[in-house]
Amino acid sequence: MNRYGLYDLVLRSDRDPGLPEVDAGERPGEEWEVVWEAVDEPHRGLVHDVMDFDGIRRLRVWWPSEGEIILFYGDRRVRWLSGERLLEIEVDPDETDRLLLGVFLERVVAPIAMMLERPGFVALHASAMGDPDGGAWAILGHSGAGKSTAALHLLRQGWELLADDLVLVDTTTGEMLPVAPTIRLFDGPEVVKEALESRYVEAYRKYLHRFSWRGPWRRRPLKGLFYLEPGDPPNRCEEIEGWEAARRVLEQAFEITDGPEGFRARRFSALCGLTREVPVRVVRYEKDRDAEVPGQVEAILRVTS
């Protein structure tokens, strides 16, 4: 049985789930067991049911009982049993793309389960980077705003890649939970030469790049949120507060379509509280694919240096 890291969990499995292999001492955490078997559709407890952006796959999530969460997405099915510290995974028998399976576990399964089970946990559509002093910064914005591009260039500046696409934050402590470092980009491996593994994913129409884990795994205090907004006037970074800050963060937070009683209110309160505790800045910049250091990265470095 090998061990694999997933947020603050260590998974024991006899098959590779597409996650980074770790030593127990290197990445301490609650140990769970992975079993590979069929997962049946439950009869009650549906809390999330949406069609993905490709118009083909549906993500459905059930919470039939305390300590049990079931997720279906295409041919992938997972049953999350926190009371037994057990993860049951069912995949297509021909599934060979472990990289995509790992992304599903780190960007869908674990964040949704933790949000439902752990009060104060929220997930943001963002990239997250660790600065040289050990703090974390989340980079938010609409699709195409340049979040992943900023993450790649900060990585090249010596920062740590903590998460991309979905960032998990514990608002009760003000900390961000790192996960396996992957980025989705239009650029291929001939440009992103630092990646350990690169794969073109037709559903994303982008390349998925996985990088090595540079530093020790630990939660990082979240120092601030950057909201990217290409446009004029460029190269400006403005701190915002109150409802304006809350609105920007709320629109980039992961939503459960039909959460259990009180879930939406708790989520709203946690996100608003986060914007009161952590600075929120709007970064306006001019897009330039040929720039050696993109404008949004220059603005972020000015604030954080």
Clarify whether residues 131 and 205 are in a common domain: yes
Q: What is the pLDDT of residue 54?
A: 61
Residue 106 lies in a domain: no
Q: What is the average per-residue pLDDT within 156-174? A: 92
CA triple 271-280-286, angle to 5 deg? 130
Clarify whether residues 158 and 14 are in a common domain: no
| Band (24; pLDDT cuts 50, 70, 90) | low
Clarify whether residues 78 and 163 are in a common domain: no
Taking the mean position of all CA atoms in its chain, how far away is CA 121? Answer: 12
Residues 187 and 266: their CA atoms lie apart, in Å, by 39
pLDDT in tens, 218-252: 899 999 999 998 876 666 789 999 999 999 999 99
**DSSP label at residue 253:** B
Clarify whether residues 135 and 271 are in a common domain: yes
Mean residue pLDDT across the chain:
88
Q: What is the average per-residue pLDDT within 168-173? A: 95
Torsion of Cα atoms, 263 then 105 then 12 then 19, to 10°? -140
Share of the chain above pLDDT 90, in %: 52
Give all strands of the β-sheet with 86-90 in edge-to-edge order.
Answer: 2-6, 9-13, 30-36, 86-90, 76-81, 68-73, 58-65, 46-51
| Band (296; pLDDT cuts 50, 70, 90) | confident
Q: What is the pLDDT of residue 89?
A: 95
Residue 107 lies in a domain: no
Residue 179: which CATH number? 3.40.50
User: Does residue 96 surpass a pLDDT of 70?
Assistant: no
Q: What is the average per-residue pLDDT within 58-73? A: 94
SS3 11: strand
Task: Enumerate the β-bridge partners of residue 127.
Answer: 139, 164
Tokens (6 digits) for 92:
């297509």
Share of the chain above pLDDT 70, in %: 94
Number of domains forming the structure of the chain = 2
Residue 259 lies in a domain: yes
Q: What is the average per-residue pLDDT within 194-209? A: 86
Range of the structural domain that residue 85 is part of:
2-97
Clarify whether residues 199 and 254 are in a common domain: yes
Domain limit, last residue, from 64, 97, 130: 97
Domain limit, last residue, from 28, 63, 97: 97
